């Protein structure tokens, strides 16, 4: 599942970049520079990211190690043009000391991202997704493209992904007396794909498979988790209960994010 998604992503991004560079080349030959459809800076040429450092240190200082810092889409002579890949050719902007209208600011417009991440438009069109195409949530709410790792944030791994989600979903923040270890281990994307899925609540799976990826132990006789020994009864019980619902159906482990009453995240 994961591998397949990654494969798809790579292919789609590659395809997107090919399309993008063709667009760029065709624009260069007609002396027009277009980075994002509908926007452009007539008459401007690429100057390279090094030019941006003098005035935008806050944006450049954490950028070096990031994925997008490796984008080199324009004239090889000017070197790294990654800032301009999203903000348009910068010569006029630099010459005028940042005059209004000389740099593209995509703000929250996802079109700037779809340009290369074609497949994300598809993910955000799935039946269960964040209302991004409706303009209520944007790529940059979750990804800071100016920081080293635009998925996890600049800091220590998973904490920052979870914090990103909790900015808007405070209800899942707890703190719980019995937090679910899944969030500590893998963050919210252990169970949700925030770009969208075919399942309700953007879940990665609609049935017990969501949980069994980590909890195969419940299928073995005599499993012991959190001190609770079932002697196989749980395996039998879930067999019959699961025919009617899921692991998180009412009365079962319905407090999937954490519980204040029960270590087995049940009400
Ligand atoms: C000589 C100083 C200077 C340099 C060099 C410079 N900028 Fe700017 N830039 C400014 C100023 C001043 C503003 C307007 C005030 C602000 O938003 O910070 C600005 C604004 C911007 C904006 C926001 C535009 C908007 O409409 O909101 C972007 C994007 C931007 N710069 C990108 C770049 C990029 C990319 C480079 C390198 C190619 C660069 N800048 C180089 C001074 C500079
Ligand atoms: C992957 C696309 C992308 C790249 C690469 C990128 N930016 Fe941005 N930038 C954005 C988007 C989207 C916004 C608006 C949303 C935001 O503020 O986060 C923005 C906003 C800005 C702004 C104006 C807003 C503000 O907070 O002042 C400046 C200035 C800027 N970027 C400079 C840079 C510089 C300098 C680089 C290279 C080091 C760079 N950007 C690389 C996408 C990008
Ligand atoms: C000019 C092309 C281009 C644009 C525009 C662009 N990206 Fe990317 N992005 C890439 C490439 C290439 C990769 C690397 C893909 C890979 O390695 O799988 C990438 C990777 C990413 C990643 C994951 C990798 C990581 O470690 O950071 C995120 C998240 C991302 N982009 C978000 C955005 C967002 C948000 C925007 C819009 C503000 C955007 N991108 C605009 C080309 C682009
Ligand atoms: C609600 C939060 C959220 C929004 C909105 C969002 N992302 Fe993501 N994105 C994530 C998380 C979390 C991950 C890491 C998923 C994982 O580890 O499985 C991710 C991963 C990625 C990746 C790398 C892995 C992959 O799935 O390809 C790319 C590229 C990416 N996002 C691009 C985008 C773009 C482009 C947009 C806007 C069109 C966007 N994202 C909007 C949260 C978000
Ligand atoms: C910028 C705010 C914002 C961020 C950040 C955000 N979300 Fe959301 N989320 C929303 C909005 C708005 C909705 C739609 C709510 C609605 O339709 O009532 C939503 C809906 C959801 C839903 C479906 C809720 C339902 O009742 O159907 C899930 C699940 C979800 N988000 C998970 C996540 C995860 C996981 C992350 C982090 C990767 C995240 N969200 C980050 C704003 C956000
Ligand atoms: C172990 C899997 C799992 C993890 C990890 C997880 N969720 Fe969920 N989440 C679910 C399930 C299952 C539902 C559906 C519950 C239902 O329909 O009764 C759900 C529902 C939601 C909803 C819809 C409102 C609700 O409670 O029904 C939101 C919002 C949400 N999750 C956000 C998050 C956020 C934010 C994180 C990370 C802090 C997260 N989830 C981590 C499994 C998970
Ligand atoms: C990413 C892996 C992962 C996923 C997916 C996951 N869990 Fe967990 N779960 C954990 C971890 C880690 C613990 C903590 C185990 C420990 O501390 O011994 C845990 C603990 C539990 C416990 C508490 C066991 C006890 O101590 O009594 C229950 C019940 C549980 N999970 C149910 C679920 C359900 C239901 C789902 C599906 C909605 C699910 N889990 C999905 C990793 C996961």
pLDDT tens for each residue of 67-91? 888 877 656 677 778 899 889 889 9
The residue contributing the CA closest to ligand 6 atom 11 is 256
Do 214 and 182 contact (CB within 8 A), yes or no? yes
Asked if residue 23 has pLDDT above 80, the reply is no
Structure tokens at 150: 């635009």
Q: Which ligand is nearest to the CA of 139?
A: 4
What are the pLDDT digits (tens) for 116-161?
899 999 999 999 999 999 999 999 999 888 887 766 654 444 568 8
Average pLDDT, the chain: 78
Task: Give the model's pLDDT for residue 221.
Answer: 66
Name the CA dihedral angle for 42, 47, 51, 57, rounded to a multiple of 10 degrees: 60
Verify whether ligand 1 is closer than 6 Å to residue 90 (CB atom).
yes
Q: Are 178 and 258 in contact (CB under 8 A)?
A: yes
How far apart are the CA of 173 and the centre of ligand 3, in A?
28
Q: Which of 251, 256, 258, 267 to mutate to test the pocket of ligand 6 (most atoms within 8 A of CB)?
A: 256
256, two tokens: 């999937």
Measure the CA–CA gap between 131 and 14, rounded to whole angstroms. Answer: 26
CA distance 97 to 93: 6
For 201-207, what is the mean pLDDT? 95
Higher pLDDT, 13 or 191: 191
Judge whether 44 and 92 are in contact, CB under 8 Å: yes
Distance in Å, CA 101 to ligand 1 centroid: 10
Q: What angle is formed at CA 42 by the lines to CA 36 and CA 47, rounded to 5 degrees?
A: 80
Distance between CA atoms of 162 and 183, rounded to whole angstroms? 8
Pocket test for ligand 6, best of 190, 192, 246 (most atoms within 8 A of CB): 192
| pLDDT tier for residue 236 given thresholds of 50, 70 and 90 | low
Q: What is the mean pLDDT of residues 19-26?
A: 38
At which residue do the structure tokens 């630099």 appear?
94
Cα–Cα distances in angstroms (integers) from residue 104 to residues 148, 206, 228, 245, in the given order: 21, 41, 58, 50
Mean predicted confidence (pLDDT) in 106-124? 93
Residue of the CA atom closest to atom 23 of ligand 6: 201
Does the pLDDT at position 31 exceed 50?
A: no
Instruction: Give the pLDDT score at 147.
Output: 81
User: Which residue is listed with tokens 């944030």?
Assistant: 153
Residue ranges around ligand 3 (CB below 6 Å): 9-10, 13, 17, 20, 67-68, 71, 73, 85-86, 106, 112-113, 115-117, 139-140, 143, 145, 149-151
Buried b (16+ CB within 10 A) or exposed e, 97-136: eeeeebbbebeebbebbbbbbbbbbebbeeeebbebeeee
Please say if the pLDDT value at position 213 is more than 70: yes
The finding on whether 192 has its CB within 6 A of some atom of ligand 4 is: no
129 lines ligand 2 (CB under 6 A): no
* pLDDT average, residue stretch 41-47: 88
30 burial (CB, 10 Å; 0-12 / 13-18 / 19+) is exposed
Tokens of 74: 């324009």
> Given this model, what pLDDT does residue 29 score?
32
């Amino acid at each position: 599942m994961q591998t397949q998604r990654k494969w798809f992503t790579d292919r789609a991004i590659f395809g997107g970049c090919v399309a993008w560079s063709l667009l760029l080349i065709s624009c260069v030959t007609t002396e027009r520079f277009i980075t994002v459809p509908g926007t452009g800076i007539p008459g401007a040429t690429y100057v390279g990211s090094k030019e941006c450092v003098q005035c935008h240190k806050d944006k450049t200082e954490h950028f070096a190690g990031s994925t997008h810092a490796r984008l080199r889409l324009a004239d090889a002579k000017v070197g790294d043009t990654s800032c301009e890949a999203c903000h348009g050719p910068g010569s006029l902007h630099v010459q005028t000391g940042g005059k209004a209208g000389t740099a593209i600011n995509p703000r929250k417009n996802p079109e700037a991202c779809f340009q290369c991440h074609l497949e994300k438009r598809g993910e955000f069109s799935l039946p269960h997704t964040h209302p991004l195409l409706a303009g209520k949530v944007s790529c940059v709410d979750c990804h800071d493209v100016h920081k080293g790792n635009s998925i996890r944030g600049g800091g220590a791994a998973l904490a920052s992904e979870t914090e990103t989600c909790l900015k808007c979903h405070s209800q899942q923040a707890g703190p719980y007396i019995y937090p679910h270890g899944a969030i500590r281990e893998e963050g919210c994307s252990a169970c949700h794909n925030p770009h969208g899925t075919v399942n309700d609540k953007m879940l990665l799976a609609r049935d017990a498979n969501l949980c069994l990826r980590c909890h195969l132990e419940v299928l073995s006789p005599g499993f012991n988790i959190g001190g609770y020994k079932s002697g196989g009864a749980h395996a039998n019980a879930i067999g019959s209960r699961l025919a009617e619902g899921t692991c998180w159906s009412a009365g079962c482990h319905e407090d999937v994010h954490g519980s204040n009453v029960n270590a087995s995240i049940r009400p």
